[in-house]
Amino acid sequence: MEDKRKSDKLSLGPEDIRARARRSTKRSRTGCLTCKFRKVKCDETRPFCNRCKAFGIGCDGYEKPKSALGPPRLPAFLSTDDESLCNTLIAPSLSGALHFDSEEEQRHFHTFQSETAYEICGIFESVFWQRLVLQACHQERFVLDAAIAISAYNTSLKLSKTRWQDQACLATAAAQAQFALRKYQNSLHVMRTSLSIAPCPRKALMACMLVCSFEGLFGNTVTALSHARSGQILVENFLAEHTHSTPSQEGITSPAPHIIENKLFQAASYFEAQIIGLFDRRSPPDHARLKIEGQETIARMPRSFKDLDEACVYWDLVSRRSMHFVCEYSPDSQRGLIAYADYQVGELPLTSHPGEHLPNREQLDRCHAEKKNYLDDLARWSAAFSDLYSRLKRTTNKRQVMGGHTLYVKSKSMEMNVGSAMESGICSHDKYFSHFREIVTLSREIIRIKKTFTQSDFAVELGIIPSLHATATWCRERKIRREAIELLQWYDSREGHWDSKSMAEVDSCIMELEEEGIETEYIPECARVRVLSITSDEGGEWATVEYVRGSPRTGELPGRKRMRLSGEQYTKSRTDSELSKEGNASESSYVDNLLAPYDISDDGQSGDEICRSASSTPIGYLFEIQPVSK
């Protein structure tokens, strides 16, 4: 039988063989992401394919088309009137197609355009990164150089963390990092010249955003925060010079969109989010003035938000006002830190009586009345967000789902922060057990989703790390507390100046101190710890935690603990004296303060030096960043 089949096959002519052969068809590469992952044929129905629906799973939609290599096309102008002004706000006209000095520059720009701009903004999409920066690349060389530098260094970080590392991969990562530093240095030089020749609030604001972002990406935390302070001063000066013609839009739109358009003004809320309560030099009277920003806007807040962008804009205003309220009444606000991060600054031994900063009865009554108003604002925002959140949880758009969860987590954390303001004792957060549980549950889902579609571990915007850190610090229910710490370790990411692994190690240290010698599930007040300072030793391998155990009611016992940091953690900064020496004498002090020169030969500082260079704040934020080989 087998011989017969062979003979039949041999007897077939060439035409017969071609007729029986399987017809070759061009393989489609435009199917949805879910079908590609499942390796099945997609019917390519848009926006979501029917095959996924029939199978009973969510369709993740389709890839955005990637631009081909070659001279990039000019970006389309923004659709709204104020956004279209960006053609003339930086330069009188577009310079035409972008000019690249090398193929490497062109490659990194395309990577920025197709990947980095979407990764660096974090959980929420950003018009600033995905449109405004790309447009500005055609108008200002320093923006193009900064975008290339950010893309190159982000690529270097991803290469250095791949699972399959070899010498070639590590060498490539190091080369990318060196290239990024050179482009960043070029960007600072052109930036400085451009701002000194033609000062422009919009250009200065964008420059400050780019500098903060690269310094944060590189791990220069104190330098990034210093520039964030400069950026916030720019915003406050702009607001002081221009009165808003529409009070119901104050705090969410630009008072002078012909100078700084709405989207850039909204993106600049990044500065306030980074510094408020941390490295914040503003006094209680300053916070008292800023906490009433946009009062009419809050009063006319929509009853239901139409989309995630609107919810984010109003959340930024509500959260800023709430934090200024907390800072005004915090005894540590003048020294740069508040209890939002559970770090109350002091030196051992305590030089002041625990009750020295307690307010009088009149201040306390006023505080409680105002607290109710700010809690009401949070409740009104949550009510307006409720229907939208229900819709977002049902969508198949992963970024929208994460955005909804993140806003909800932030709102719960802020409710605890405002609700516990001015409450005595260190047990004031015990009543928020349900908040802690929701934060942990939703954060786990956010991290799970995020790890499915991005390899980047840095975002300029704050997300869930502060809320998880607050849970790990304030929640004394052992199971939830450990889950929060485990999530911080699993997340292994940085959001602005917050590093999840560093926070996990600090929180683990505090947990061990509080549970030492305690047999019961409940952590009594006498065993609870209040952190005074955290400083890293030279080299960053060890850190010292200074704390007070107990409370004024139960008695306070100061202590100190050394903790070893996993991996090589370091951060770098430059002191004010170093910056002033290297500044160009022909340029204004304003430009010098805004754009601190960066020296790629700087080997960094110890934790104590960092603290002294950052307004004498005795706390070192430690980041697990591998030093770039010089």
pLDDT at 355 exceeding the cut of 60: no
Greater pLDDT, 610 or 393:
393
* pLDDT single digits (tens) 227-260: 999 999 999 999 999 999 888 999 999 999 999 9
pLDDT at 436 exceeding the cut of 50: yes
Q: Which of 608, 626, 604, 629 is nearest to 618 (CA)?
A: 608
* Residue 187: predicted pLDDT: 96
Preceding omega of 47 cis (within 30 degrees of 0): yes
Which element (helix H / strand E) includes 106?
helix 103-111
Region for 74 from its dihedrals, namely left if φ exceeds 0, alpha if ψ lies in -120 to 50, beta otherwise: beta
* pLDDT single digits (tens) 80-127: 444 333 333 333 333 347 889 999 999 999 999 999 999 998 889 899
* Residue 603: predicted pLDDT: 34
* Residue 423: predicted pLDDT: 77
Mean pLDDT within 305-322? 96
Taking the C-alpha atoms of residue 491 and residue 470, their distance in angstroms, rounded to an integer, is 15
Taking the C-alpha atoms of residue 440 and residue 77, their distance in angstroms, rounded to an integer, is 41
* pLDDT single digits (tens) 437-460: 999 999 999 999 999 877 788 999
Strands 494-495 and 458-459: parallel
Q: What integer best gives the mean pLDDT of the chain? A: 77
* pLDDT single digits (tens) 559-618: 998 887 764 343 333 333 333 333 332 223 223 333 333 333 333 333 222 222 222 222
Contact in structure between 583 and 597 (CB atoms under 8 Å): yes
* pLDDT single digits (tens) 485-537: 999 999 999 999 899 998 999 999 999 999 998 888 889 999 999 888 877 76
pLDDT at 68 exceeding the cut of 90: no
Picking from 216-225, 408-417, 420-429, which range would have the lowest pLDDT averaged per residue? 420-429
Share of the chain above pLDDT 90, in %: 46
Share of the chain above pLDDT 70, in %: 72
pLDDT at 484 exceeding the cut of 60: yes
* Residue 609: predicted pLDDT: 28
Q: Where are the alpha helices (H) located in 475-568, listed in sequence order?
A: 478-491, 500-515
* Residue 54: predicted pLDDT: 66
* pLDDT single digits (tens) 33-48: 777 766 678 888 887 7
Q: In what order do the strands lie in the sheet with 529-536?
A: 529-536, 542-551, 555-564
pLDDT at 268 exceeding the cut of 80: yes
